[in-house]
């Protein structure tokens, strides 16, 4: 029997359809309708961590606590202090409560609470949108500890990640940052940490370079040294139920930013128990 062209095309279509329908059965991880990892897939594999932070917004109402955190980070990472708000670079900074946690604010929220300054930084999301859009692999979710890392060598400055991040955690270097980096008397930057260059995006890395040598992030260390700031920032492995972050998350009422987006932030906030009275001392 000689196959007609029409029949050949029909059979080819049926084979393609059949093979395509079978693909999801081959790999159970490929089910595209799960919004974010659930069940076994959500748990970190054996031996992997997820670093996380709990910010106590009440303790961080003290301006000296916030200032110490921001200052420690800026010095540790040679973050440039560019006065122009349109070009400023920040890793950790303060924003009003109503902007940080818009889902917690309603028409009758006390204005003192709305304006209360809250520390913000990269959330090191479980499902980071920035990573999904990066065309060069310059930013990625590190499997071993869940840090959303940056490799400045690979960044081409397309700023897709900045558009994708719902938290504004990323800053672009519109110009060479060196002139705005704090220096020692001899003109060298205060830290050995590489400065960035014009045309790359930067953000908080949970102090990956400090964690590597067993030290806590600079902001956490700085907060604990300020009187009244002990425990303002708690850092640890959220996949370990015995860690301090896990304990705080169990015991206190915590929220995180814009949960509805499904990004799975790993920076959590202990909300104030009462409306702050001494709020609005200015942003750190």
Partner 1 sequence: MSDRPRIVAGLGLFLVLAAYPVWSALASTGDPSPPVLARAQDSAGCVEDTLYMAAHHADVLNAWRTSVVRDGERFYTSTAGRQWEMSLTGTCLQCHDDSQAFCERCHTYAQVELTCWGCHVAPEGQGAEP
Q: Measured from the CB atom, is 104 or 197 closer to partner 1?
A: 197
| Footprint on this chain of partner 1 (rule: CB under 8 A) | 78, 140, 142, 144-145, 149, 151-153, 176, 188-189, 191-197, 208, 212
In the block, tokens 């102090």 appear at: 207
Q: Measured from the CB atom, is 208 or 226 closer to partner 1?
A: 208
Q: Measured from the CB atom, is 174 or 193 closer to partner 1?
A: 193
CB of 246 to partner 1, least distance (A): 22
CB of 37 to partner 1, least distance (A): 21
CB of 120 to partner 1, least distance (A): 24
Q: Measured from the CB atom, is 56 or 145 closer to partner 1?
A: 145
CB of 192 to partner 1, least distance (A): 5
CB of 191 to partner 1, least distance (A): 8
Q: Measured from the CB atom, is 154 or 252 closer to partner 1?
A: 154
């Amino acid at each position: 029997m000689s196959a007609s062209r029409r029949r050949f095309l029909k059979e080819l279509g049926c084979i393609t359809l059949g093979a395509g329908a079978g693909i999801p059965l081959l790999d159970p991880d490929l089910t595209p309708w799960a919004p974010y990892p659930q069940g076994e897939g959500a748990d970190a594999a054996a031996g992997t961590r997820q670093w996380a932070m709990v910010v106590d917004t009440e303790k961080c109402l003290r301006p000296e606590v916030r200032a110490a955190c921001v200052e420690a980070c800026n010095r540790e990472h040679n973050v440039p202090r560019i006065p122009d708000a349109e070009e400023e670079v920040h890793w950790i900074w303060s924003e009003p409560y109503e902007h940080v946690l818009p889902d917690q604010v309603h028409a009758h929220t006390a204005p003192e609470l709305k304006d209360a300054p809250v520390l913000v930084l990269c959330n090191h999301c479980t499902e980071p949108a920035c990573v999904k859009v990066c065309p060069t692999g310059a930013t990625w979710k590190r499997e071993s500890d869940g840090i959303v890392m940056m490799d400045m060598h690979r960044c081409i400055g397309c700023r897709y990640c900045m558009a994708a991040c719902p938290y504004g955690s990323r800053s672009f270097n519109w110009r060479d940052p060196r002139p705005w980096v704090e220096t020692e008397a001899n003109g060298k930057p205060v830290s050995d940490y590489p400065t960035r260059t014009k045309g790359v995006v930067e953000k908080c890395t949970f102090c990956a370079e400090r964690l590597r040598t067993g030290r806590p992030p600079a902001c956490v260390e700085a907060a604990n040294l300020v009187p009244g700031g002990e425990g303002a920032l708690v850092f640890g492995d959220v996949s370990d139920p015995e860690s301090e972050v896990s304990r705080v998350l169990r015991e206190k009422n915590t929220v995180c930013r814009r949960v509805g987006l499904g990004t799975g932030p790993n920076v959590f906030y202990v909300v104030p128990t009462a409306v702050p009275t001494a709020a609005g001392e200015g942003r750190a």
